[in-house]
């Protein structure tokens, strides 16, 4: 049985204590460490492919090369990018595991374990990956539309009318127009 909220400062002061349970911290710490390990593996593979010495790279960056690295080899750049993507996906799996614990608590299952949340997160990896791909494709589609509207508006007579037409749409549909901030 949960305590009823008081709707005053006591609820505000108790919110961090309720949010930070050992299970949630354990799940997120596991996925943060897994994210760093995946990033390190791909980064050091990229360094090896690029032809750098691992000892000198390790002496400069250590186990957390959390900086923007540039590589001269395209294969190394691809490996580095895959490492960033893998780290971000593992990071998102951690958030998903913590949210699974919260949802089970709301449903009344306070005995949902940290191991169960980690297992549940890994089972939903494909769904999380596809949702991230869908978001990236949507952003790319919006950028492509903005690029196309920018090209069309450069046509001498027709472009002015297209610009006026898109100016009447909401700002969401015309992010490339410079006057959209004035709407």
- Summarize the confidence of residues 125-143 as an average pLDDT: 94
Q: What is the structure's pLDDT at 183?
A: 44
Burial class (CB in 10 A: 0-12, 13-18, 19+), 82: middle
pLDDT band at 129 (very low <50, low <70, confident <90, very high): very high
pLDDT at 91 over 60: yes
The pTM (predicted TM-score) of the whole model is 0.74
Label residue 176 by pLDDT band (50, 70, 90): low
pLDDT at 179 over 60: no
**Is 50 exceeded by the pLDDT of residue 161?**
yes
Is pLDDT larger for residue 183 or for residue 153?
A: 153
* Confidence tier at 115 by pLDDT (50, 70, 90): very high
Q: If you average pLDDT over every residue of the chain, what do you get? A: 87
């Amino acid at each position: 049985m949960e305590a009823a909220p008081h709707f005053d400062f006591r609820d505000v002061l108790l919110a961090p204590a309720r949010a930070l349970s050992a299970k949630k911290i354990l799940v997120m710490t596991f996925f943060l460490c897994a994210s760093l390990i995946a990033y390190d593996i791909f980064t050091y593979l990229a360094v090896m492919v690029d032809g750098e010495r691992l000892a000198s790279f390790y002496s400069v960056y250590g186990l957390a090369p959390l900086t923007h690295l540039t590589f001269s080899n395209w294969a190394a750049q691809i490996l580095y990018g895959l490492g960033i993507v893998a780290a971000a996906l593992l990071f998102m799996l951690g958030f998903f595991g913590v949210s699974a614990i919260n949802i089970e608590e709301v449903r009344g299952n306070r005995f949902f374990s940290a191991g169960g949340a980690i297992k549940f997160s890994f089972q939903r990896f494909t769904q999380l990956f596809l949702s991230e791909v869908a978001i990236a494709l949507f952003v790319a589609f919006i950028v492509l539309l903005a690029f196309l509207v920018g090209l069309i508006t450069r046509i001498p007579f027709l472009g002015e009318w297209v610009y006026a037409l898109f100016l009447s749409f909401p700002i969401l549909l015309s992010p490339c127009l410079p006057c959209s901030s004035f709407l």
